[in-house]
Amino acid sequence: MFNKDVFNNRFLLLRLWTLIWLTAVWVLLWGNLSWANVLGGIRIMKENMMLLPLPKVPVQGRIHVLSLVRLVGLYVYLAAESSVNVAWLAVRPKAPPITGVVRFRITIKSDLVLTLFVDGLNLFPGTLVLEIDQTRRLIYVHLLDMGSQKVVDSFFQSVRRLERLFIAAFERDAEWAPSSSHGEDQASHHGMDSDDSADDDTVGDAIIDTEVIGEDLKAPPERRDDKKIDDERQGDWT
């Protein structure tokens, strides 16, 4: 009974927060803070939430404030560092940087935390998430600068630091347990089998495509269809 009451209270709080957030967006779109806009936004957004409800996202784990503060601090630092690097690439008296796509495996379990993690990567200047393979927990990211192995290794290290703090802040192993719908959603949407689980800890895998722009380009780099290779491996990453 207690657990059910806690679940209901959490659900109501989430619905209330969604209503407040949507109302704030409504007021910002109007550009005028007034009682008419606030009350009108509450009414319209409440009707939208009833008529067009968003799909339920399983919420597991709990928030750890100290780890969350460390996560925010690291994120601000990495965002500032990325901004400086992109600004330098724009003004330096050299040829445009080598761009490309990298992939890496993640250990984040929750789809909600994964969404926050990917959104954070997209906000970094010079990075863009192209694809998420939820079955194999792989993320494909386009990088603006891949001029050296040191730059690529630095990116992977930053990603791992962020991932560890996301897990520490939202889904520690001792506290996280999948909801009843978590496994069903994975299986129905991605066709997961018990044999498809990925169990290696590869930090960053292959550079699957690079585009070199400059006078010293003699031949276009070879393109690899890693999606096809992944399917042929059928989850075997040993």
Whether residue 238 lies inside any domain: the answer is no
pTM of the model: 0.62
- Count CB-CB contacts under 10 A for residue 126: 16
Segment 162-187 mean pLDDT: 72
The answer on 72 and 7 residing in a single domain is no
Instruction: Return the amino acid letter for 14.
Output: L
Whether residue 222 lies inside any domain: the answer is yes
CA distance 19 to 21: 5
The answer on 221 and 156 residing in a single domain is yes
The answer on 219 and 144 residing in a single domain is yes
pLDDT at 216 over 50: no
CA distance 23 to 89: 40
Segment 203-231 mean pLDDT: 45
CA distance 196 to 58: 22
pLDDT at 105 over 50: yes
CA distance 105 to 117: 13
Quick: pLDDT tens for 17-65. 888 989 999 999 998 889 999 999 999 998 988 888 877 766 666 788 9
The answer on 227 and 144 residing in a single domain is yes
Contact present, 118 and 125 (Cβ < 8 Å):
no
Contact present, 223 and 101 (Cβ < 8 Å):
no
Residue of higher predicted confidence among 101 and 180: 101
The answer on 212 and 126 residing in a single domain is yes
Domain hosting 176: range is: 65-233
Segment 122-141 mean pLDDT: 91
Please report, rounded to a whole number, the percentage of residues in the chain having pLDDT higher than 90: 37
The answer on 88 and 30 residing in a single domain is no
Whether residue 199 lies inside any domain: the answer is yes
Q: Which DSSP string corresponds to 5-42?
A: HHHHHHHHHHHHHHHHHHHHHHHHHHT---HHHHHHHH
The answer on 81 and 30 residing in a single domain is no
Please give the structure tokens belonging to residue 157: 């290290």
Q: Categorize the per-residue pLDDT at 77 as very low, low, confident or very high, splitting at 50, 70 and 90.
A: very high
pLDDT, residue 82, reads: 94
Whether residue 165 lies inside any domain: the answer is yes
Whether residue 57 lies inside any domain: the answer is no
The answer on 36 and 69 residing in a single domain is no
The answer on 182 and 82 residing in a single domain is yes
Q: Categorize the per-residue pLDDT at 177 as very low, low, confident or very high, splitting at 50, 70 and 90.
A: low
Q: How many domains does the chain have?
A: 2
CA distance 96 to 94: 7
The answer on 20 and 46 residing in a single domain is yes
Query: What phi and psi, each to the nearest 5 degrees, are found at residue 209?
Result: -165, 135
Whether residue 203 lies inside any domain: the answer is yes
Residues in the chain: 238
pLDDT at 131 over 70: yes
pLDDT, residue 110, reads: 84
pLDDT at 147 over 90: no
Whether residue 56 lies inside any domain: the answer is no
Contact present, 137 and 120 (Cβ < 8 Å):
no
The answer on 178 and 85 residing in a single domain is yes
61 to each of 87, 102, 110, 199, 206, how far by Cα in Å? 38, 30, 9, 22, 32
Count of helix runs (H) and strand runs (E) in the chain = 7, 4
The answer on 21 and 138 residing in a single domain is no
Whether residue 168 lies inside any domain: the answer is yes
